[in-house]
Amino acid sequence: MSINEIIVYLMVVFMALGAIDRIIGNRFGLGEKFEEGILAMGSLALAMVGIICLAPVLANLLRPVVVPFYQFLGADPAMFAGTILANDMGGAPLAQELALTPEAGQFGGLIVGSMLGPTIVFTIPVGLGIIQAEDRPCLATGVLAGVITIPIGSFVGGLIAGFPVGMVVRNLLPIVLFAVLIALGLAFIPNGMVKGFQVFGKLIVVIITIGLAVAIIQKLTPLTLIEGLNPIEEGISIVGDIAIVLAGAFPLVFVITKVFQKPLMKLGHLLGMNDVAAAGLVATLANNIPMFQMLHDMDRRGKIINVAFAVSAAFVFGDHLGFTAGFDATMIFPMIVGKLVGGITAVAVAMFLTRKEAQHG
């Protein structure tokens, strides 16, 4: 039995425990998490179905530009998808469509697309919408620290997946270039970069919503508004696959955070952060939104470390675990290891950047 199968079976066990707890009145809190997993279907559908339906159309539009450029760099065009889109927001299906080899599709869509893509399309735009204006410099510094280590996490994730070292290194070249450009932009023109990310995030929402609306129209009427669109059933099926995994993943994360809360809080103190910042690191493992909601109550060092960690590690035991298990279960363990390596090394960079603030908040 592979490590990926063990993780899936573990989530099945916790799904069953969550279902039982729901039946007996949510005595242990697992029933509520079971419900959250199933109810995630709605928000997942809004974020994913439109782009899944549009994936072949977008691939055809992008191919003439993306393929020659990436081939010039010696990389597979699948890397483009994971660079600008999260795995669960169209990065994985678009990477599959653009990929010249199946392995590159997996690497670009499920490894790179679990770190760089979510940062561009979700973490930065959503974080900006939640945090207070005075915390924006901390967000920019944290993202800078996190982006620097994405190539490290991607490299390790690729090796764990069993991809040849040469193939991984070749395909990391555009990722490194893109990460360097983002880091330079955040270092020298943070306000302009922040505004750019906000605009890009809104543009993605527009594209996703158009794709979903057109797919619904084409399903319910004989009209064909966009030729070559994937049927809406394909997107809904993927969303359903993810939700049934999350029905077990959320109870599992709930137990993990309960069991490891004290050691993780101690780790936070060792890193020179306050209690709120330490709690933020724990929350990020499932979802980075709660972390952003508590960001204002953290000390400055804790803010930067939390954002840096979230760049790669956010959702590792939440949506990204559910998505990967539903989309391609063979990539579960490589995704987890890659994201955690990226997140932990980002914390090290953030600690270096804030070393003068270790003793005071």
Domain boundaries, the chain: 3-357
Phi and psi dihedrals of 328, rounded to 5?
A: -160, 90
Short-list 210, 191, 258, 203, CA closest to 53:
210
d(C-alpha 178, C-alpha 116), whole Å: 9
Q: Six-digit token pair at 100? A: 């010249």
Judge contact between 186 and 143, C-beta under 8 A. yes
Look at phi and psi of residue 272 and say left if phi exceeds 0, alpha if psi is from -120 to 50, else beta: left
d(C-alpha 114, C-alpha 116), whole Å: 7
d(C-alpha 100, C-alpha 268), whole Å: 43
Average pLDDT taken over every residue of the chain? 91
Q: What pLDDT sits at residue 360?
A: 47
Q: What pLDDT sits at residue 359?
A: 46
Q: What pLDDT sits at residue 355?
A: 84
**Neighbour tally for 47: CB within 10 Å:** 21
Q: What pLDDT sits at residue 199?
A: 87
Handedness of CA 284, 291, 250, 252 (dihedral sign): positive
Short-list 283, 279, 295, 285, CA closest to 140:
295
Q: What pLDDT sits at residue 358?
A: 61
User: CA–CA distance from 262 to each of 258, 266, 279, 314, 358 (Å)?
Assistant: 8, 6, 10, 20, 21
81 CA to centre of own chain: 13
**Neighbour tally for 71: CB within 10 Å:** 12
357 secondary structure, DSSP code: G
- For 47-66, the pLDDT digits (tens) are 889 988 998 999 899 999 99
Short-list 271, 339, 328, 279, CA closest to 305:
271
SS3 of residue 274 by DSSP: coil
Half-sphere exposure of residue 124, counting CA atoms within 13 Å on the CB side? Answer: 33
SS3 of residue 28 by DSSP: coil
Q: What pLDDT sits at residue 361?
A: 44
- For 149-175, the pLDDT digits (tens) are 999 999 999 999 999 999 999 999 999
For the CA atoms of the chain, what is the radius of gyration?
Answer: 20
Judge contact between 318 and 286, C-beta under 8 A. yes
Q: Which amino acid is at 149?
A: T
Half-sphere exposure of residue 138, counting CA atoms within 13 Å on the CB side? Answer: 26
Q: Six-digit token pair at 70? A: 């990436």
- Given a cut of 50, the residues of the chain with pLDDT beneath it are 359-361
d(C-alpha 103, C-alpha 168), whole Å: 10
Q: What pLDDT sits at residue 12?
A: 96
Short-list 52, 47, 121, CA closest to 83:
121
d(C-alpha 130, C-alpha 252), whole Å: 27
Q: What pLDDT sits at residue 279?
A: 87
d(C-alpha 31, C-alpha 35), whole Å: 6
Q: Six-digit token pair at 353? A: 């950047």
Q: Six-digit token pair at 272? A: 């020179």
Q: Is 133 exposed, middle or buried (0-12, 13-18, 19+ CB in 10 A)?
A: exposed
